[in-house]
Copies of this chain bind each other. A is one copy, B any other.
Amino acid sequence: MSSLEARIQRLEDIHEIQNLLGRYEYLHTADKQEETVELYAKKTPGVTAEVANWGVYEGIEGIKRLFLGLHRMGGEKALIGSMHMHTLTTQVIEVAGDGKTAKGVWISPGHETGNNPQGKPEAMWAWLKYGVDFVKEDGKWKIWHFHVYPIFMTPYEKSWVEAPPPDSTLPGASTLPEELKPDRPTTYFWQYTTNVKCDLVPAPPEPYETWDDRSVA
């Protein structure tokens, strides 16, 4: 049985991690991309962010390309009438016995609104899952490995059963400016279609003692 102090610390860690990813969601919707970058680890090697079929962005430079670059390709104008909102539910968090890392998964009901190719706002239901590894730097929890797993993204007028089949790579990826491209291709792709089965990815984390390379991201 670990000391009382260590047990309290672990409970505080869980709360801080929940707040950390919660802050991400509010910042994300409000296009606070600089503040979002600050949520990521700065001193720990191996930082990654992988969103759906967009590929893997590596290191803090990759995180900046993803949030300050790719997320802002549309410029100020694209923010008018757009809304990207994702929630955190069904939380399973495990903090390592050594208190240095943690893993968490969430199911995220949400919605996306943006201009369609005709320049008209289009509303979509967008459900996803998060699998995130965290690391503690100088006493503060940071995002270490971040992975957004799509469930479905469907125009409001159609269900996910009727939605067009997803691409396994980001549409237009080949014409992305070189400086916004991911470092590596997508590592895992699943999205609901009528001919697939549901899987256990990310699997909810099990208790663990020290970092074991069993990332949920």
Interface on A for B, CB 8 Å cutoff?
A: 4-5, 7-8, 11-12, 14-15, 18-19, 22-23, 25-27, 29-32, 79-85, 87-94, 105, 107, 109, 111, 113, 121-123, 127, 151, 156-157, 159-162, 192-200, 203-204
Contacts and interface: CB of A to CB of B under 8 A. Distances in A.
Contacts of A192: 83, 113
A160 B197 contact: no
A80 B121 CA distance: 33
A19 B93 contact: yes
B89 A87 contact: yes
A207 to B, nearest CB: 9
Contact of A88 (B23, B89, B93): B89
Contacts of A197: 31, 79-80, 82
Contact of A198 (B7, B11, B29, B151): B29
A90 B88 contact: yes
A195 B81 contact: yes
A85 to B, nearest CB: 7
A190 to B, nearest CB: 11
A161 B204 contact: no
A26 B105 contact: yes
7 shortest interchain CB distances as A-B pairs: A123-B159, A156-B159, A30-B200, A22-B92, A81-B194, A87-B89, A123-B161
Most chain B C-beta atoms within 10 Å of own C-beta, residue among A23, A32, A90, A203? A90
25 contacts: A8-B8, A8-B11, A11-B12, A11-B15, A19-B93, A19-B204, A26-B92, A26-B200, A26-B203, A31-B198, A32-B200, A79-B198, A80-B195, A80-B196, A81-B194, A83-B151, A83-B160, A83-B198, A84-B198, A113-B192, A121-B161, A123-B160, A123-B161, A156-B159, A156-B161
Nearest to A163: B123
Most chain B C-beta atoms within 10 Å of own C-beta, residue among A27, A123, A157, A162? A123
Contacts of A121: 161, 194
